[in-house]
Amino acid sequence: MSSFRTEHLETLVALVEEGTFEAAARRLDVTPSAISQRIKAMERSTGQVLVQRSNPVEPTAAGDIALRYGRQMRLLEDEATRALALEEGEGGAVTVPLAINADSLGTWFMEALAQVDSSGVVFEVLREDQEHTTSLLKAGKVMAAVTSVAEAVQGCRSELLGTMTYHPVCSPGFLARQMDGEVTAEKLGKVTVVDFDRKDQTQNRFFRDFAGKPLRAPRHYIPTTADYARAILLGLGWGLLPDRQCLDEIDRGDLVEFAPGHAIEIPLYWQRWTLDSPLIENLTDAVRMVAAREMHQA
């Protein structure tokens, strides 16, 4: 990897981010032919194809590794440039892409970002299911991720942040109207459930544990954290909500925890690049601090 020229790595990053040779050429102010020649030079150097010539282009497995390396080099360069610019009183910003699951993003993660010195830093947060955030790390698209996957992605470190507890809840009206005020596995398997999106397996996991069989119920899909909780509160269906979105409502009687003792515990991990970066370390410290306060600790 050390044989790659800086301009070649910059070209690969631009090509993947822009999606086409023409767009990458405009970004770097060169010709599409120059972009193609640089990518081919990298592929000759590695002996492997780095990008699929699709529209948009997609990195191969080998390309993901080179892409991550290129972005790491860009981060270090941007951090150095930022530090020098701040000393001179000039502008300039480092972009930090992160992959965060929706429930963390909607409950505690923004508090962690607020703890980071954001002078000369901008965050790009990509929302993804906690079981899939590591795919963005593997592809080199993000520098760090909150994930339910404990095993560290190659080139990354992994640490346990804590556990989020999810409670099976519905509105009192839904319970009375759809299940005659009493929950059984048979009834629950027939009434409408609310999923976050088609990747969301939380309700399926709960029902499999609760009833011992797969869930085959009709489903709503509500892909924003606040609206998902509101859909359950308004009686559109049942679902699982984390502590911060349901415990007060349960206490007030606005929601019913219909299966006490069947809450689901989901451990979450912080995975980030193994890189000597003050910015990543500062962000990690902030994430660790807020997670220790907001999540259940072993």
**pLDDT tens digits, 55-96:** 899 999 899 889 988 888 888 887 777 666 655 545 557 789
C-alpha distances out from residue 76 to 20, 24, 66, 152, Å? 26, 22, 16, 22
Instruction: Give how far the C-alpha of residue 165 lies from the chain's centroid of Cα atoms, to the nearest Å.
Output: 18
Mean pLDDT of the chain: 91
- Per-domain residue ranges for the chain? 1-91, 164-266
- How large a percentage of the chain has pLDDT more than 70? 95
> 290: pLDDT confidence band, cut at 50, 70 and 90?
very high
Q: What is the pLDDT of residues 90-145, one digit of tens each?
A: 555 778 999 999 999 999 999 999 999 877 788 999 998 878 888 888 888 899 99
Give Rg (Cα) of the chain. Answer: 23
**Predicted pLDDT of residue 87:** 56
| pLDDT confidence of residue 91 | 52
Q: Are 220 and 195 in contact (CB under 8 A)?
A: yes
**Confidence (pLDDT) at 86:** 55
Is residue 58 within 8 A of residue 95, CB to CB? The reply is no
What is the value of pTM for the model shown?
0.78
> Which of 228-245 are b and which e, b meaning 16 or more Cβ less than 10 Å from the residue's Cβ?
bbebbbebbbbbbbbbbb
Q: Give me the mean pLDDT over the 14-42 stretch.
A: 94
DSSP β-bridge partners for residue 115: none
For the stretch 243-285, pLDDT in tens is: 999 999 999 999 999 999 999 999 999 999 998 888 899 999 9
Question: What is the helix (H) or strand (E) element at residue 230, kind and residue range?
Answer: helix 225-233
CATH number of the domain at 1-91, out of 3.30.830.10, 1.10.10.10, 3.40.50.10860, 2.40.37.10? 1.10.10.10
Other C-beta atoms closer than 10 Å to the C-beta of 3 total 8
* CATH superfamily membership of 164-266: Periplasmic binding protein-like II (3.40.190.10)
What's the pLDDT at 257? 98
Higher pLDDT, residue 298 or 213: 213
Confidence of residue 183 (pLDDT cuts 50, 70, 90): very high
- pLDDT value, residue 171: 98
67 contacts: CB under 8 Å, gap ≥ 6: 12, 13, 16, 59, 139, 140, 141
The DSSP output letter for 226 is H
pLDDT at 150: 95
pLDDT at 1 over 50: no
